[in-house]
Structure 1
Amino acid sequence: MPTFCSSLIVEQHVDGFQQETSLWQDRELAVFGYSYQHEGQALDALVFKVRRNPKDLLTHLRRIYFCYEKCLSAQLYAALLDLLIVLQGRGQAISRRMIEASRTQLNSRQLQLLNQSAGHELLGNTYSLFSNGYIGYSELVESKEQTETQHDFLTLANDFIEYSQLEQAMDVLETGISLHPDRQDFQHALLELYKSTGNRERFQTHRQTFSDSGILLADEWLDLAHFFEGQAS
């Protein structure tokens, strides 16, 4: 069975290699009190970092390793898929090796889709960040039954607020709304930040972006628009 190490993967029978967890764990998470033992929050933070900086290859690899280690099949597939999408056909060696290292935590359909991804439309699932298509309904249900963990960015945003990092909190909530447009609590929290910071320009930009994306906006978006208009007059 393959294992993760600094050279990405080696076979377990190779002498002189041991699993190097320090490489694969993001020390920045500890700043906000996240432990790798707290599965949901740690994964939320890794997903957010990938979303914020898609070209951060190491964070992609750490997300993949985390999902592999925690036996999160659906999330692991999404993490590998997002890596392939970001690489855009480059880095064939590293992507193939990551898929091979992860194969014991993937089902046959997931492996098939990942291995035939070159030249084909990449089919995602509810956890993938950058894909347009989706795995068939029956497979998506199967993946959800394997784990019910859903990325909830509200807790992460509240942690940023606690440390007075309001820009990062808005980043988190904007990402959360894009991924989970039905979460009205994300919208309410984001609107409170726009209002408290007086960030009219950012509010207008994302109001238009979300509207263009077909996201159903809460009535409070219009209320805040009127509030900013009143301030400007």
Structure 2
Amino acid sequence: MPQYFSRLLAGPSLDAIPQETDFWHDRELSLFSCPSADADYALTALVFKISRNPKDLLAHLRRIYFCYDQRLSEQLYAALLDLMIILDGKGTAISRRMIQASQSRLLVQQCQDLLKTDGQTPLANRYSLFSKGLLASRELVRSRRQTEAQHDYLALANDFIEYSQLEQAMDVLETGINLQHDRPDLQLALLELYKSTKNRERFQLNRQRFSDSGVVLEGEWLELAHYFEGQAS
């Protein structure tokens, strides 16, 4: 079976990244610094993670840091707003700290809106994922469609694997196979994860599900079925 991932558990060593005292230069968040040519992909990947797991606080912080670092004021405003919405009145100290630390990259009105104390949710913009406004809802649907159409699911799965999030990597690959039936590389990568994690139950469930939905399964599915049968005997 082709080896799509050279390492399943190991990611970049955090010890190799110098620790900074500045709030915005957290060692782990600094892993998301990238050339401007890759900025769209990196931000889309972060948004995808948050949309799949809205309570992933670290992903929210990475998104905020990335938008701050790239000087994307509208996207930064949306990232801060989404964090506030998910916290739902909790974690006031951390959300205010993030807003105050972001002031130099926000418009004055954006800061004022985010720091409102009247209990009303600040007005959303088109980059917000979780606000209740119709504009945000339409943009979220469109954003998800664009992500499904444009994203390289294999690369995104590898991104999850870099942070040892193997369940999420399998989620991404399974979604990609459902949407892109003509991608055998997604199937082979998923099979590699099933085998590496010894997840026989998930393998059997999705083998049947893909077959029922008309996905043409690669021969390696049968090979892995035989492998799991041998493990069980």
Shorter-chain TM-score tier: 0.5 to 0.7
1:60-93 Cα offsets, whole Å, 9 max, x none, are: 1111011001100011001000000000001111
Say which SS state the counterpart of residue 119 (structure 1) adopts.
Answer: coil
Structure 2: how far apart are the matches of 1:98 and 1:19?
Answer: 9
Structure 1: how far apart are the matches of 2:96 and 2:23?
Answer: 19
Within the candidate set 24, 27, 38, 1:23 is matched to 27
Q: TM-score scaled by structure 2?
A: 0.53
Say which SS state the counterpart of residue 127 (structure 1) adopts.
Answer: coil
Asked whether the 8 Å contact 2:45–2:156 carries over to 1, the reply is no
Cα 1:20–1:124 change in 2 (3 A) is closer
Let me know the Cα RMSD of the aligned residues.
4.1
**Paired position in structure 1 for 2:66:** 66
1:158-178 Cα offsets, whole Å, 9 max, x none, are: 525789x5631455x7xxxxx
Structure 2: how far apart are the matches of 1:19 and 1:88?
Answer: 24
1:45-56 → structure 2 map (5 Å cutoff): 45-56=45-56
**Paired position in structure 2 for 1:78:** 78
Q: Percent of counterpart pairs with the same letter?
A: 41
Asked whether the 8 Å contact 1:55–1:86 carries over to 2, the reply is yes
**1:159 is matched by which residue type in structure 2?**
A
Structure 2: how far apart are the matches of 1:199 and 1:118?
Answer: 52
Structure 1: how far apart are the matches of 2:118 and 2:50?
Answer: 22
Unaligned runs of 5+ in 1: 1-15, 30-34, 137-150, 174-187, 202-223, 229-233
Structure 1 or 2: more strand by fraction: 1
**Paired position in structure 2 for 1:184:** none
**Paired position in structure 1 for 2:151:** 155
Higher relative contact order (CA 8 A, sep 6+): 2
Structure 1: how far apart are the matches of 2:157 and 2:86?
Answer: 30
Structure 1: how far apart are the matches of 2:156 and 2:59?
Answer: 19
Cα 1:79–1:160 change in 2 (3 A) is closer
4+ long deviations beyond 6 Å: 196-199
Of stretches 127-136 and 70-79 in structure 1, the one that deviates more from structure 2 is 127-136
**Paired position in structure 1 for 2:127:** 127
Asked whether the 8 Å contact 2:84–2:95 carries over to 1, the reply is yes
Cα 1:170–1:72 change in 2 (3 A) is farther
**1:25 is matched by which residue type in structure 2?**
L
Asked whether the 8 Å contact 1:63–1:79 carries over to 2, the reply is yes
Of stretches 108-117 and 39-48 in structure 1, the one that deviates more from structure 2 is 108-117
**1:36 is matched by which residue type in structure 2?**
C
Cα 1:106–1:199 change in 2 (3 A) is farther
**1:77 is matched by which residue type in structure 2?**
Y
Deviation, 1:23, is 2.7
1:122-170 Cα offsets, whole Å, 9 max, x none, are: 421111111112689xxxxxxxxxxxxxx7452242525789x563145
1:183-231 Cα offsets, whole Å, 9 max, x none, are: xxxxx972638xx867759xxxxxxxxxxxxxxxxxxxxxx98x69xxx
Q: TM-score scaled by structure 1?
A: 0.53
Structure 2: how far apart are the matches of 1:192 and 1:98?
Answer: 42
Deviation, 1:56, is 1.5
**Paired position in structure 2 for 1:93:** 93
Cα 1:152–1:168 change in 2 (3 A) is closer
Cα 1:199–1:21 change in 2 (3 A) is farther
Unaligned runs of 5+ in 2: 1-19, 137-145, 162-168, 188-205, 216-233
Asked whether the 8 Å contact 1:157–1:168 carries over to 2, the reply is yes
